[in-house]
Structure 1
């Protein structure tokens, strides 16, 4: 039986662990921050919106994201089925923002017809609490969302149930060669680790809205010319995000004031009632991103080293599919799932 060490207990590392354990491998996961890890995955909103993001994702990644929603359903079926909500997603616009919505619509029309154009009544039917200022919308019925923290905790439990070992310590790849057959590196961004990888600082607000305001699915909206999202979270809660700012040397657990200001402005743009929301937490993480903004799987040491990185904003959306590709690599299977994550093939222009 092959022994495999995974560095990083975020969504990618845990997805790899569960997939490999189910296939019969012996797996140990290392993370200095605990289990689940407290990096970018812990600050995620849990959006699974491949169709809603089809304007910026290549088509094969949209299809992979739809496949991942089904994988999440199977993963969470026994441990935490209520963590996954399959209610679609919305993109809404006021009259002022209509040109931005039209431009978005034109961008996705050549790629997919799996969306519905809504007028004000249609938007209000799906989300009665939204302000009537939103006169138009696009509805993506196959999208979903999940409670990110509960999903991560469920994968930690699955890892333990299947005999995986959790080791809370900092480690380097070189420390593990003599103890494991393979090392899978899922650490995300670290300084001087991968010269092609850069850090994207992201902040989001975890809010408790006032009585009378509640959403049932992810809603993306414009604030200025930028897209923001609001995602239901933990019962009556709401996550509003997210800033995206490339930083050379980011401070992972400290938000910046300009980021907070843009989020507060966005929350008030969504609905003025959110002025009376309580701020539960500021979520803050460093997202690893390659120039393509797409994940990449690379190898070294004659296949004994595998790096799965560059999840950017798509960790929960693509993590389970990346895990499948990693297992294909471990099994020496050259599959379409594996080839789409190679640094040669994840060109954004290739559909």
Structure 2
């Protein structure tokens, strides 16, 4: 049970059995996951769907003779067979009562193939009563499923009569089964986005800024978050609105400054930015784009803070790349899941259309750009 995700484990436990762990011997694990992606693995850890089948009863109305009944289930290339269960005579023929549970991993639309066989129990009359002791197929049934959640429910099915290989040995067949079937499909992943606004470090930074026709050094209160570096007024800090934002999506690295290009103190560093991430719309007309080296120059109040800021900036960039990589895995999982649903519905004529895929849940696919006044 510990191998299942919490929502799947809760769904399994709702069948109300007391000996849950002892009834999971037929569980197969494989395939893809939609609710979680292991950060240490590139492959998901749990199948999209879990088929639940509980065998309950087989009734053979064709004869009152006693059988040892076996029930075979097949999904794809995986086949499982129940333990033999002896039937008993009743008014309608003979009935075998079972209580076995089978679970199958599924990742696409599938068929459940069921075959019920009976091994006649010899009587004191033996074959004198014309009762063969050879294994007999009592009936077969194929059920088609699309990959959509289906609540567990008890169903009764009439089995299809088997086609005998030798018509001279044909026997009567009138068999029905009672089975509980359910299909659990994992929900789409709900991404934890708390890392985006997590404050990794904050403190004073002095940036070179462009204003009018002159440049100057201006001190800011800088807040490094999981996705951005935000700049606030140095005096009022967080009491006033942000005055500048540097999205980490456009930061290519942190390096020592080029002292031939800029006159700056020793505790400085250069933040390299992607040219595509600079908002050129607000740049003054007298500034030529070719003049820019696409760097943000900043310095700290001390040599110690210089080391601290460098370490936090590099760590933030690494974490950002890792988090965005996991976001990509989840998005691909969503697309694969929805493609599977679309195929499922198309194959089995379901009317519900697949939901649209947003590039980012609850937000835009694009991030803000870097204010040109900070870029040199």
* Structure with more of its chain in helix, by fraction: 1
User: Common fold, TM-score beyond 0.5?
Assistant: no
Larger Rg: 2
TM-score (norm 1): 0.21
Calculate the TM-score normalised by the size of structure 2: 0.20
Structure with more relative contact order (C-alpha pairs < 8 Å, separation 6 or more): 1
